[in-house]
Amino acid sequence: KAGVTQTPRYLIKTRGQQVTLSCSPISGHRSVSWYQQTPGQGLQFLFEYFSETQRNKGNFPGRFSGRQFSNSRSEMNVSTLELGDSALYLCASSFLQGFGETQYFGPGTRLLVL
C-alpha cells in the first residue's frame, strides 16, 4: 500500500497570510491526525478527524483548523500566519479512530513564515 502523502512538501509564506496543507491517508485508513513539530516544542498534537468529524483537538488557537473529506483525505488551514507558525506539519493516519491505534506518519510539510 502507498504510504501517507502530504502536499506541498515545502511552503514559504509571509506573516498575515493563510495556508492550506493537504494529507492523503493510507488506503483504507479513516482517521487522520495532525501534529506540529518544532525544535523547541517537539511533536504537538493539533487535531484528529474520523469520518469527517473532528474527534479531538489539541491546545492550539482557533487560527488552526481542519477538515476531512468523504474519501478520508484531510486538510488543515492556518489563518493569519505568525512567525512562530514556522514548523514541520505532520499528518498521521490510522485504520480506526480511538486511542491505541497505530499511527503512520506522512513526510510532512515544512512551512516557513517570513
CB of 61 or CB of 98, closer to other proteins? 98
CA–CA gap between residue 27 and residue 6 (Å, rounded) = 14
CB of 1 or CB of 99, closer to other proteins? 99
CA–CA gap between residue 81 and residue 98 (Å, rounded) = 31
| Cβ–Cβ under 8 Å, residues 111 and 9 | no
Does 97 interact with other proteins (rule: CB under 8 A)? Answer: no
Query: Which one of 14-22, 68-76, 78-86, 103-111 is the stretch in contact with other proteins (CB under 8 A)?
Result: 103-111
CB of 19 or CB of 90, closer to other proteins? 90
Does 100 interact with other proteins (rule: CB under 8 A)? Answer: yes
Does 25 interact with other proteins (rule: CB under 8 A)? Answer: no
Q: Choose, by CB under 8 A, the member of 13, 22, 58, 75 that binds other proteins.
A: 58
Does 10 interact with other proteins (rule: CB under 8 A)? Answer: no
CB of 59 or CB of 70, closer to other proteins? 59
